[in-house]
Amino acid sequence: MARVFEFIKDITDRKDLWKITVKVKDKWNATKEGKDFFQIVVVDSKGDDIFVLVPNELKQKFENEIPITVNNTYTMQNFQVTKNDDQFKPSHHEFKLRFTGGTLVEDVNVHQIADPVAKFKSFGDILNGDFREDYLYDVIGLVDEVGYQQPHYGNRKVQVNFILRDLGNNVINCTLWENYALKFFNVQNKANEGPTIVFMKYAKVKHAGLLTGNTFNIVSLAAGIESGTITNVTETPSQMMSQSSGGSQFTPYTAEQKFTHNAEVMPLSKIVQLAEDTKCVTVVDTVKIKPNKSGWYYLTCYKCPKQCFGDAPPYRCIDKHETETEIIRYKMDIEVAAGDVKATCVFWDRECAQLLGISASDLRAEMLGIGITNHLVYPVQMDEITGRTIAVKLKWQVKWKTGSVMAIHDGADFVNEIQSSFPPGDGPQGNLIKSDKTIAKSEPYGEIDPFFAHKYSDELDDE
């Protein structure tokens, strides 16, 4: 009598003679102790999956004689069944399977098994600690902010840190490494003004945030909501975001909504009276640059956003990371005003580059080209920063009595909209000055990386 088909959910180690019909969900190669093998995750008609290891001695057989391919269906039977005790588990099944010399694989694409549906881990669960660090999860979200970037190979791995947001406005910190980071940079460069949605399969979750490793992860990205389906997924990014957040319709923030998100809109006169650190949006006139002993730029660490010190490489930050090459970033104290109220705001690399239309490294190269090496000599281009009326998103820091600028916007309609919410006399007195270098939506200018040193401003010299 032939053995009947059974379901993945019923598999235990009470026997090895299981017979299942499955579709190959994912496959990847691996190496251990110099021996190559491959691993797969298979799913059955009920949507349950299980992790399968094909050892080195069977690798050629199941790649050439009976090739196992993603999205194909098979009948598989006879395995070694053991506890799923791997450090990181792409399947949450209690057990895992290993092919043996007695494993039989046949009936290629005979069975009709639907494509597996992604089971997204909600951001709420992650933030509430409702996850296991040994489980790998599927995660999807909208890129809300991009932080530290290492886009090129050098002293360390290629890396990008960013924040993902879901439909419920929950946010988690994420890191992509090497090939996945390069894929992210490629999509970001093509995104123009559209949002970027990231879909990560088999992501590692930690209490400090969400990180992806380099063993199991499959990262799909979509630039723009109308970009179509994501690789290996039959739903559009919008549909997947809705599924991940309980069916809500996905509507991305406009640039203006994102600008004011998680910030209080108030005039500068109210900001300077705040008793605690607060994120604010306001409208100001840029009055003048306030020179200080740090000059108009500084060296930053390749590994973190902190300032580096030294007259020659290797430069070192306060965490003692060593940086072999000069990474130049803007940092300038600028006096701003609204009516009779004045304050000092720290403008960081991204915002200065947007106002000037040139990166700090390129401007310094111009200065070196004319023989000026002193960082206390402010280029004449700096004059373009003053005399502007702009909307700023800043973090008012009570300790320093300064605002750390997080984003800027010079759109006349948006500036007027923000200013119209202020009491009479609380707004800037100057007219909006437009230049050929439009700031747009606080997106990076050219090849300038978004920079998040403003989040660490207490660690930099503000004297």
SS3 labels along 74-91: EEEECCEEEECCCCCECC
Determine the 3-state secondary structure of 446 from DSSP.
coil
* pLDDT computed for residue 460 by the predictor: 37
* pLDDT computed for residue 175 by the predictor: 86
Helix (H) or strand (E) holding 418: helix 412-420
Q: Indicate the fold that domain 8-106 takes in CATH.
A: OB fold (Dihydrolipoamide Acetyltransferase, E2P) (2.40.50)
Are 123-252 and 259-459 equal in CATH topology? yes
* pLDDT computed for residue 127 by the predictor: 86
The ranges assigned to domains in the chain are: 8-106, 123-252, 259-459
* pLDDT computed for residue 352 by the predictor: 94
* pLDDT computed for residue 72 by the predictor: 97
Domain 259-459, classified CATH 2.60.40.10, yes or no: no
Q: Give which of 125, 165, 171 is closest to 141, Cα–Cα.
A: 165
Which residue(s) pair with 173 in the sheet?
A: 163
* pLDDT computed for residue 245 by the predictor: 52
**Chunked mean pLDDT (size 10), the chain, 463 residues:** 91 95 94 93 96 96 95 96 94 96 94 90 88 90 84 77 86 86 80 75 75 51 36 43 50 73 91 95 95 91 83 87 87 94 94 93 94 92 93 94 94 91 64 40 31 33 35
* pLDDT computed for residue 187 by the predictor: 80
Superfamily of domain 123-252: Nucleic acid-binding proteins (2.40.50.140)
* pLDDT computed for residue 4 by the predictor: 93
Determine the 3-state secondary structure of 60 from DSSP.
coil
* pLDDT computed for residue 54 by the predictor: 97
